[in-house]
Structure 1
């Protein structure tokens, strides 16, 4: 679909036969078959007058697309953006007509390009402020045209055509080039944990900049009042307002360190395996009166991610029979399940209370007998893995002195898990049980 050098307009082919007759050799030629080449021949040429890429300064590009073939084709034009570069919104012009809202990254539809037709497209790219491209390196990009047409027999033909590649050296900016680097500790957390964020805001350019921190709190987490510091100085108060936090004037080569803390809310708000991401949003403006007309530019930090790791224990209890009598036995089935992503050690300080006492040596966990005595302060059932289920069977005996007609109760289950060498302790209660008591006088 593209031409390199002079492309022939047709294919020519002639066959010949070599044969011997006696002591003589002969050659016989066939007629010449000439097949015309039918199809588009798309050519892309990319140009720029810029000699270097300066962060924050738009770079103008021009592209000329020609169809040097003899067949029309539909063409969609793309720009292969290198890392750190972005389109300047509203800068695309096709054949002198501005195209607002069009993005070459998503593709500029040129429609049908007829044989001999030429399309001119102009646009601007910009090397982002605070990008990771270092001075002295080169930033390169090229255009791509997605071409499609239907052959004479109705077959759809598709292909890609690429332009020449333009490389520009990255130069030092004569203006501020702010950047922001965000870190968080720890990378895994549980409900109630504190997350410590640190944001380093610096200036890689050659002019000072006034910087304001616009947004820095992760969604859904609780800000710790009075935890915000700027270069070690405490900023008292609650959540900062919508106006942002002024970080002051940052000179070239200097930086400001901002730190704060948030708390992970309870299990009713967050979920195990949930990812908490955060990205700081800032804006920078020029201090020099000569650039007063320049609009403040917004820039972002990198994104940080924290994984929430904790167990979610549920407890269900069954008591049989539902009708008993003084000095009677009751069979209990306690089922624990872990819907979280962290293992937990489960147990209970006291399985039964009131007029029902635990029958010694009746307790089994998943079929394995665990001895328990009345004097035990705590019964440990064992470790419950994520997505695991544990069944605890035990018996209770009703006091012969019971006088009530109904016994009601539940079981409190305690569990603990380890994260970052810190033991987290939680508790959950079962559903209530009810046992009717039949007395001899009834």
Structure 2
């Protein structure tokens, strides 16, 4: 084949005949026949803007088609999509002009291409799955046809270079777990996130973030990364991990405390964010559910009466409610108010008597089923003599245990409200001194007494001097706060009526007596006492207060 003077290719053909004549061999040549070659010849050059891709990446192809033939022809470009890709709709651009609806998989009509003309085709694919070969192998095809002068239609097929683009596999897994499936209020639960990069890419600028549910509080300083403590790391803010290299594993742990505000089921999850070739991506972990086991034990205490006087019996009722669906084993403790004492055999559990059981020893309630109520009743008595009228305050507590699914036993307690009884009473206290400490017959002794009402009610009080026979009172010496009483206040038998003594009042009582020879002993021992009465709610009560002992030595007549 050789070109014609005009530059078009030619096919030259010539025949020859070989023959012999005698001993001579001869050759005869025909004339030369020249046949012109015409046609459309398409050359394809294919390239990609991306040298490597990953799952989810977009790859842009650029194909240049050149008609190197000498005849114009109609050209259709076809590009079968490689494994693991999908065509990006409306991404075809022909010679700078978008071609909506065109698809290289179905063929792109380039149109009529003149000799030496070029066409540029651009389109995009997206990687939707990882091909088994980890490569995108792609080749374009041009189908051309032209019509000869005789009217024949000639077709031709040409292919581009084969383009191989590596596919980098991103295989990142994130598995979250908790140290327990069930927890209780105040427990620290350890969460562990295991991140595994099974791919062939380094994941850069990785950050692990955690979704901590309401009522779950991060324990500062508890984060570890591959067993190395990271005191400043905070899962709420995100934990920087740097670059996660191929075929590597990172283990993150942290502790979180369960509070009363936590839901019955707390669901946590993690997200690992990273960059691949400058493109952000992320991987989510599984969800982890931790169940909060929270028995709702309440203790309510009641007392009757609310106002009492010395000697009264207090009736206590205690209600223990389990408002949850969790069964617990429980023991109730109750310490009686100071100064009161338990009434034996008064204890009842759910109206069943418990003879011989004392409230101070604790009451074994057994198993309290969910949605149940138990009632305990008992009596306590106020003593007749009180040192104070402070309110009698009493609370009960219930210590209960429950079991988690992993076998752990948890103990907790509930305290009742305070059951308060106001004490209404006068408290009369009496102290006394006697002088001189040594006497002879005929001497005078003086008794100085102090009477105080430390209670909260007024009382009608009488004062009595209790000394043995031979000590003769001198009634006219009797003084109260320095003043003499009316003669009618003295009964003539060692007793004076002091009248109404208000709460907080203090009286100083002074009187004298003569020691006579009727004393049969060498020592006089006596005391003073106060009897009192008062009313509460229309009912009358009485009491008595004694002083300390009063002693005086007596020197007898030796003559």
Once the 2 structures are TM-superposed, how far is the Cα of residue 295 of structure 1 from its aligned partner? 2.7
Indicate how the Cα distance of structure 1 residues 243 and 431 shifts in structure 2: closer, same or farther if over 3 A, else same: closer
What per-residue deviation string (whole Å, max 9, x for no partner) do you get for residues 5-60 of structure 1?
xxxxxxxxxxxxxxxxxxxxxxxxxxxxxxxxxxxxxxxxxxxxxxxxx843579x
User: 1:326–1:401: 8 Å Cα contact kept in structure 2?
Assistant: yes
Moved more, 304-313 or 432-441: 432-441
Indicate how the Cα distance of structure 1 residues 242 and 362 shifts in structure 2: closer, same or farther if over 3 A, else same: closer
- The aligned residue for residue 326 of structure 1 is 310
- The aligned residue for residue 416 of structure 2 is 429
- Alignment gaps of 5+ in structure 1: 1-53, 60-90, 99-123, 137-171
SS in structure 2 opposite 1:317? strand
What per-residue deviation string (whole Å, max 9, x for no partner) do you get for residues 231-287 of structure 1?
1111113x628763222322333211111111112x3x346xx1111011220212x
- Alignment gaps of 5+ in structure 2: 1-53, 60-87, 91-97, 101-124, 134-165, 427-532, 536-559
- The aligned residue for residue 32 of structure 1 is none
User: In the alignment, does 2:299 pair up with 1:315?
Assistant: yes
- The aligned residue for residue 381 of structure 1 is 365
User: 2:301–2:416: 8 Å Cα contact kept in structure 1?
Assistant: no
User: In the alignment, does 2:362 pair up with 1:362?
Assistant: no
Once the 2 structures are TM-superposed, how far is the Cα of residue 188 of structure 1 from its aligned partner? 0.6
State the TM-score, normalizing by the size of structure 1. Answer: 0.56
- The aligned residue for residue 379 of structure 2 is 395
SS in structure 1 opposite 2:370? coil
Residue of 215, 221, 224 corresponding to 2:210: 215
What per-residue deviation string (whole Å, max 9, x for no partner) do you get for residues 389-441 of structure 1?
11111111112222545633131313221334233222322243224445742
Query: Counterparts of 1:136-215 in structure 2 under 5 Å?
Result: 174-210=168-204, 211-215=206-210
What per-residue deviation string (whole Å, max 9, x for no partner) do you get for residues 306-335 of structure 1?
111021221222212334332221211111
- The aligned residue for residue 227 of structure 2 is 232
Once residues 323 and 245 of structure 1 are traced to their aligned partners in structure 2, the CA distance between those partners, rounded to angstroms, is: 63
Indicate how the Cα distance of structure 1 residues 313 and 125 shifts in structure 2: closer, same or farther if over 3 A, else same: farther
User: In the alignment, does 2:326 pair up with 1:342?
Assistant: yes
Indicate how the Cα distance of structure 1 residues 219 and 296 shifts in structure 2: closer, same or farther if over 3 A, else same: farther
Indicate how the Cα distance of structure 1 residues 314 and 242 shifts in structure 2: closer, same or farther if over 3 A, else same: closer
User: In the alignment, does 2:337 pair up with 1:244?
Assistant: no
What per-residue deviation string (whole Å, max 9, x for no partner) do you get for residues 50-72 of structure 1?
xxxx843579xxxxxxxxxxxxx
User: 1:180–1:300: 8 Å Cα contact kept in structure 2?
Assistant: yes
What per-residue deviation string (whole Å, max 9, x for no partner) do you get for residues 70-123 of structure 1?
xxxxxxxxxxxxxxxxxxxxx999xx9x9xxxxxxxxxxxxxxxxxxxxxxxxx
Once residues 134 and 308 of structure 1 are traced to their aligned partners in structure 2, the CA distance between those partners, rounded to angstroms, is: 45
RMSD of aligned Cα (Å): 3.7
State the TM-score, normalizing by the size of structure 2. Answer: 0.45
User: 2:55–2:168: 8 Å Cα contact kept in structure 1?
Assistant: no
Once residues 127 and 187 of structure 1 are traced to their aligned partners in structure 2, the CA distance between those partners, rounded to angstroms, is: 37
User: 2:267–2:287: 8 Å Cα contact kept in structure 1?
Assistant: yes
Indicate how the Cα distance of structure 1 residues 328 and 317 shifts in structure 2: closer, same or farther if over 3 A, else same: same
SS in structure 2 opposite 1:200? strand
Once residues 131 and 414 of structure 2 are traced to their aligned partners in structure 1, the CA distance between those partners, rounded to angstroms, is: 54
Once residues 189 and 135 of structure 1 are traced to their aligned partners in structure 2, the CA distance between those partners, rounded to angstroms, is: 45
Once residues 382 and 191 of structure 1 are traced to their aligned partners in structure 2, the CA distance between those partners, rounded to angstroms, is: 23
Structure with bigger strand share is 2
Once the 2 structures are TM-superposed, how far is the Cα of residue 359 of structure 1 from its aligned partner? 1.6
User: 1:309–1:340: 8 Å Cα contact kept in structure 2?
Assistant: no
User: 1:351–1:358: 8 Å Cα contact kept in structure 2?
Assistant: no
- The aligned residue for residue 32 of structure 2 is none
Once residues 260 and 396 of structure 1 are traced to their aligned partners in structure 2, the CA distance between those partners, rounded to angstroms, is: 53
Once residues 190 and 266 of structure 2 are traced to their aligned partners in structure 1, the CA distance between those partners, rounded to angstroms, is: 13
User: 1:337–1:389: 8 Å Cα contact kept in structure 2?
Assistant: yes
Residue of 256, 261, 269 corresponding to 1:262: 256
- The aligned residue for residue 56 of structure 2 is 56
User: 1:176–1:252: 8 Å Cα contact kept in structure 2?
Assistant: no
